[in-house]
Amino acid sequence: MNRNIPVIEAKGLQKKYEGVLAVRGVDLAVGRGEIFGLVGADGAGKTTTIQMLCTLSLPSAGEARVLGMDTVTQMADIKEKIGYMSERFSLYPTLTVEENLDFFARLRGIPREVSKSRKKELLGFCRLEPFRQRPAEHLSGGMQKKLALACSLIHEPEVIFLDEPTTGVDPISRRDFWRIISGFLSRGITILVSTPYLDEAERFNRVAFMHRGQIIACDTPQNLRTELVGELLEIRARPARRAVTSLKRVPFLSAPQLFGDTIHVMVDEAEKRCPEIKHWLREREIAVEDIRRITPGLEDVFVARLTGFEEKPVSEPANSNSVDTILKGDNRGEVAVEVSDLTRKFGDFTAVDGVNFEVRHGEIFGLLGPNGSGKTTTIRMITGLLAPTSGGVRVLGQDMATAVEAVQARIGYMSQKFSLFADLTVEENINFYGGLYGLSPSLLKERKKWVLDMAGLRGKEKAMSAELSGGWKQRLALGCTIFHSPEVIFLDEPTSGVDPLSRRSFWELIQELAAHGTTIFITTHYMDEAEHCHRLGLMYQGKLIALGSPLQLKAERVKGELVEVVSSDFARALERLSADARFRQVNLFGSAVHVVVDDAAKASPEIGNLLEAGNITVHTINRIPFSIEDVFISLVEAQEMSLAGQSSRKGG
């Protein structure tokens, strides 16, 4: 296999829509058998680039070739040899899993005897065999993604284009999806994939960072990491937010970034700076739990690149005084949301099953769970958008069964799509929500200034909201959600599709709001974001299976020790370790493999010997602390094993 021969080429590729240059002179070359990633926020140009390479859209300038064929003059020949899966994919909801595969096989003109064997292989590979007679519309989001991938592979393409294939699915489904992809890489299939998840990009042979239609960096993950100037420190300190604020005043540090429950900061010399940082924080009565040098991740690299690429960050966090002007009194300690035996049924299906929890004023509460676990249904019942079948909800001391309108005037809700009107300007969106919430003209004028300053949109009042970047849209939507001074804010996947720099800036503002007494209720699929929450609830199949602080869940809900294995071939390492009964809960995390073991000291040499025997070079085997994603996967897998055991006993 010669990866120096380009299978995908683009030179000066451009695409203009109604005067807007969506893709600006993209050059790239992808070799055979390579997995190549396009990374960037919504609106960066990833989808447009992929659509031009797939012959679904004609370039405005430049040229592209796939398998040596021109994407404009030979598009029919190209379509026969490639597979394409869009973010929204193209399944037929009323057809079963098997019928969808049969349809796409006929569409590709595959003989019945050939398609039969391929269908069997794909159903097994994607773990969809037990669901072959289930309609696609009744599959979970993750299963639908796997079926869409199987349909795009039915004709055995030489090149696969995947446009954000795992966006909006939980970590369990993402992990399964990448297991499938790693299996096909060994066959020499070339894969070009776009993703907003930087941990996924760690798996790629090469990565291109896209921003505003341009490629601003392109190299292997390892080479991109080495471009960072200095050494990266990871600091665990309590309270983390006060530690970040304090570290911003240290002259020899670059801007510290809160990353989950840790702080990342670049220094010139780690060995010298570690004791100085410890001394600085302890003098200010901030407890330092751990401080160590770590290898930068691609998110650190991307954030550094974006910070350098922009004249200034997308937006600056609101300062304390500006937040003070918009928030009401501090009722910290009192219960803001109380959920009692909350249940919702749709016919014979129980979406939420007897859920109980409380959220206090000033608390950031995160609700996690696989797709279809009942999170959205729970939020809709809490906010009064859906009546429960049984059980009750009290928000701000009032019963949602009798006081919906009164409570809704005191809460804010921001959906995943930001609840903005695309055909209105920034100012018109603010005016609309001001009128909706009944703000007086003088108060609207004051709050409008606050939103524009907070969102970094001063001077862009007349810009159409549809033309804003993901980060700007996000902060404008949050401003419109909170400028009527809500006491509780509900955020549904608020950072989906925005770049890492905007995500970090957004969380600084969320923490600022919580520090001033606002209650934050949030759902997210980014597990590092879950670390920011004061407490977390984990839902599975409608039930609340875990509740506690991130620290509690990591300390109390996972048994054993966690080992991280970095090797020359993560796909084969994953395969060998998963097949060995000595090791449990073997999962892929970026380009590393995480293994839960009883004793890390004993298991580490056993893991090394197993991989070396398979001609896999082991770079490092280290015991590491559990992350929330590890906890999430461990608890869900335990639930699945328990249910499988119950089913087996009933069958017996």
Q: Please report which confidence band the pLDDT of residue 555 belongs to, taking 50, 70 and 90 as the band edges.
A: confident
Instruction: Quote the DSSP letter at residue 88.
Output: T
pLDDT at 370 over 60: yes
- For residue 316, what pLDDT is reported? 40
φ and ψ of 193, to 5 deg: -135, 140
Same domain, 148 and 263: no
Share of the chain above pLDDT 70, in %: 92
On whether residue 446 sits in a domain, the answer given is yes
| Domain residue limits at 564 | 556-651
pLDDT at 325 over 50: yes
- For residue 1, what pLDDT is reported? 44
On whether residue 190 sits in a domain, the answer given is yes
Instruction: Quote the DSSP letter at residue 464.
Output: B
Same domain, 343 and 270: no
Same domain, 336 and 402: yes
Domain of 537, CATH number, reads 3.40.50.300
Distance between CA atoms of 554 and 548, rounded to whole angstroms?
10
- For residue 326, what pLDDT is reported? 58
- For residue 315, what pLDDT is reported? 39
Q: Which tens digits make up the pLDDT trace of 372-429?
A: 788 889 999 999 999 999 999 999 999 999 999 999 889 998 876 667 888 899 999 9
pLDDT at 330 over 90: no
On whether residue 129 sits in a domain, the answer given is yes
Q: Which tens digits make up the pLDDT trace of 452-488?
A: 887 778 888 998 988 776 667 878 888 888 888 899 9
Same domain, 532 and 567: no
Same domain, 529 and 410: yes
Could you tell me which of 563, 561, 582, 568 has the C-alpha nearest to residue 611? 568
1: which 2 tokens? 């296999």
Give the residue from 203, 220, 237 where a domain finishes: 220
pLDDT at 318 over 80: no
Q: Which tens digits make up the pLDDT trace of 45-95?
A: 999 999 999 999 999 999 999 999 999 999 999 999 999 988 766 788 899
Least confident of 35-39, 265-269, 314-318, 550-554: 314-318
Same domain, 29 and 124: yes
- Give the mean pLDDT of 100-114: 90
For residues 297 and 198, is the Cβ–Cβ distance under 8 A? yes
**pTM given for the model:** 0.77
On whether residue 37 sits in a domain, the answer given is yes
Domain of 631, CATH number, reads 3.30.70.100
On whether residue 205 sits in a domain, the answer given is yes
Same domain, 203 and 256: no
* Mean pLDDT rounded to a whole number for the chain: 86
Distance between CA atoms of 158 and 602, rounded to whole angstroms?
43
On whether residue 71 sits in a domain, the answer given is yes
Strands lying side by side in the sheet with 519-523: 411-414, 488-492, 519-523, 364-368, 535-540, 543-548
Same domain, 536 and 576: no
On whether residue 341 sits in a domain, the answer given is yes
- Give the mean pLDDT of 586-591: 77
Burial class (CB in 10 A: 0-12, 13-18, 19+), 88: exposed
Structural domains of the chain, count: 4
On whether residue 586 sits in a domain, the answer given is yes
Give the residue from 220, 251, 266 where a domain finishes: 220
